[in-house]
Amino acid sequence: MGEVYRARDTRLGRDVAVKVLPTHLSSNSELKLRLEREAKAISSLNHPHICTLHDVGSQDGMDFLAGGGAKWQVSKDGGTSPKWRRDTKELFYLDGSDNIVAVDVAASGDAVNLGVPHILFQSVGIQRDYGAYDVSADGKKFLINSGNLAQGGDPLTLVQNWTAELKK
């Protein structure tokens, strides 16, 4: 979708990564929305092994994101609504089919090892309008917004002890 360049922030004397949406693609509203969603996802994360978003904007008809620090690709298929387990050893997100996916994260110094993304819960009719899901600090309980408020359904599902069920 975009092009990523290594650049130098001359004001602050640091290397940054700049992702741009080239001018020939900037009229595509879907791509602009994807870039905006990516910026929101990056800005919601706070971890020493994930880049920090420094700036978002448009210059000369070209939309861009500018960030710094290390960056590792978690999913080649994309994802939304990322959430960290409090100890940062696991990352959860929604894939394109609204499955809740988990990735193990092991960090030591500057090295990061990412596990293979695996589906924890298959699509459960997640309602994105009011926050798709939340996860407890230990990563063992999930609150999933799965109801349909327009039809009067129960809007929340609490999933707990699911790891014990996997062992059966």
Give the residue ranges of DSSP H helices in the chain. Answer: 29-43, 162-167
Do the Cβ atoms of 47 and 88 come closer than 8 Å?
A: yes
Range of the domain at 153: 80-167
CA dihedral 18, 22, 26, 32 (to 10 degrees): -40
Assigned domain for 73 exists = no
pLDDT on residue 166: 54
Determine the 3-state secondary structure of 166 from DSSP. helix
Q: Classify residue 75: in a domain, yes or no.
A: no
Residue 30 lies in a domain: yes
Q: For residues 113 and 123, give the distance between their C-alpha atoms in angstroms, rounded to a whole number.
A: 27
Q: Each residue's pLDDT tens digit in the chain (168 positions)? A: 677 777 787 887 877 778 888 777 878 888 888 888 888 888 887 766 667 787 888 887 777 777 776 556 777 777 888 888 888 888 888 888 888 899 998 876 656 788 889 888 886 666 665 567 788 888 888 887 776 656 666 667 777 866 655 555
Q: Which of 68, 92, 113 is the last residue of a domain?
A: 68
Asked if 161 and 152 touch (Cβ cutoff 8 Å), the reply is no
Give the angle subtended at the CA of 53 by the CAs of 33 and 21, to the nearest 5°: 40
Residue 114: inside a domain: yes
Q: Do 86 and 115 lie in a common domain?
A: yes
54 and 115 together in one domain: no
| CB of 133 closer than 8 Å to CB of 142 | yes
Number of other CB atoms surrounding residue 63 within 10 Å:
21
- For Cα atoms 26, 2, 84, give the angle at the middle one, nearest 5 degrees: 120
- What pLDDT does residue 148 have? 61
Question: Between β-strands 118-121 and 111-114, what pairing exists: parallel, antiparallel or unpaired?
Answer: unpaired
Q: How far is 30 from 34, CA to CA, in rounded Å?
A: 6
CB 143 within 8 A of CB 149: no
Q: 63 and 13 in one domain?
A: yes
Residue 127 and residue 49 share a domain: no
Whether residues 59 and 109 fall in one domain: no
Same-domain pairing of 93 and 64: no
| Residues 138, 136: Cα–Cα separation, whole Å | 5
Report the pLDDT value the prediction gives residue 70, as an integer from 0 to 100.
56
Q: What is the CATH number of the domain that holds 12?
A: 3.30.200.20
- Per the structure, how many domains does the chain have? 2
Q: Which residue has the tokens 């917004």?
A: 145
Of 61, 59, 22, 21, nearest in space to 37 by CA: 21
